[in-house]
Structure 1
Amino acid sequence: MKSRIKQLLLISFISLLILGSTFLLPFGFSAIHEGWSASFWLLVSHSGGTVGVPLITITFCVLISLHYKGWKRKLLTIGLSLVAFSLVLGVMARFNEFFIKEKLKVERPNVKYLHKQKGFDMDAFYAYESKEERRRYLAYFLRSNADEMTFDGEGLHPKVIRHWIHETGYSFPSGHSFNAFLMATLMAYIILFIYSDFRRRRFFVLPFIWATFVALSRVMLGVHSSVDITCGAAMGALIALVLVYARPIDKLMMQKTVEWNQRMR
């Protein structure tokens, strides 16, 4: 177990260093203009959202189930894994969105930009309690000032504008980064736990690569700051490591494997 945790700590540290580069390099708002870049980073960002996360979770659980023999054992693995991931991700996502963010009330970078450069009333915007009301308020402003919606003299991609309208909650910490690194750390540990050969164990880095890209996309699309994504990623990884250290994954997977082997005798 110690070896697995050390590997998780190392890859988490490397990922956080990459995210830390956003403090020094001009990543912010770099993927909001017309072109392939905006479409690509929006796709990456959506993979860490309310649609992408369930799809990735289901795919991961199915792939992990292939390690076991027998369709009943595969279905049991998929079912248990989905329930566990849903509980952890659901509880932590809601805690971040409805408690941490609402307590800290940090404004999003794109909202600050519109406020400072385009005359958008940020105080009136955040005075609305529901996200739907904020969306209508922001959509009206962007439509009314469509000709002036530029950044560094270039027009905004229509999909980015729609994304800005959808993302009307508070900024700190980044929910996408939080959830992605929570998922990535747990998935990586499961891969290290199940597989003993290097050929398959090395794939534990893939969840972290995905999570790092998701976090970077949030800065590049202008909806989060470097602080938001770095702290969100660190919090997600830390919570996952605490869960790993508490050994519920080890106990559950070992218990179910023993029970299954006894039934097969």
Structure 2
Amino acid sequence: MRVGAAVLAAAALASGCAQDASDVRGASGQQPLQAPPARALDAYASKLGAAHAARVAAAKRWKLKKVPLAAPPPPAKKPEIKARKGFEVDGQEHLPPVFTSIPTKEKIVFLTIDDGAEKDPAFLRMMSELKVPYTAFLSDYLVKEDYGYFKEMQDRGVTLNNHTLNHPYLPGLSYAEQKREICGMQDVIEKRYGKRPTLFRPPYGNYNRDTLRAAAACGIEYAPIWNEEVFADHWDYREWDREIHPGDIVLTHFRGEGDWGGTMRDMVRAFLDKVTAEGYAVARLEDYL
């Protein structure tokens, strides 16, 4: 509880300073700045201690090796997001950028989850109890089996974004067909969840200029893809060094034991154990856009 101890020490100091300030006012007749009451800082320290204890208990309950690190506050000034070099298309300055990481020096990564096939209630509880943020990219042909599951996810603070209606290989479609896939999913998310997304992920990470033109016409502002992909039993990497980097976007999927060697909870453990061991916290992607 080093944070709590520090705050309590600050409270004691503040109490002493308040007394000193009173003496100064008596001598000079001027109104000094008032230090926060010691009891307020004490209450704040207790709140921090309780929150940390809850995270420790949750990490133990979900069988993590270590307590996940807390992300730093979001930046007051958002970083400039540009298309990754080599991922641009003609006329890129007017189109949503395709990128695989956020420009930052902070040791943070962003977890994103695609499709919507697996609908595990225990996964929702796990992520809420651990206070781990993530971003969902949904396809209607899978989500429509249980729209309510993703409404509960949204109610827990998760942003629901666009991954097309039917998860096609978009470059193989005409502009009009791509627009139907993207705008159609915009309509579904707005109808079911009340808000049109500004983030879109092309299925398989494949796109062409028509994809981005269609996305822009449907109200999309960003097209994040990924630098790493995590499964229940292994990781895949885009970069040659096979390492995590500050600001990397990590992909996984709503899948379970029928598709890979484990559950969504197993995937979360694999993800959190690795990033925590390497000194990374998980931040919310939308806070940087």
Which TM-score applies when normalising by structure 1? 0.23
Structure having the higher Rg: 2
Larger RCO: 1 or 2 (CA < 8 Å, sep 6+) = 1
| Structure richer in strand, relative to its length | 2
TM-score (norm 2): 0.22
- Structure with more of its chain in helix, by fraction: 1
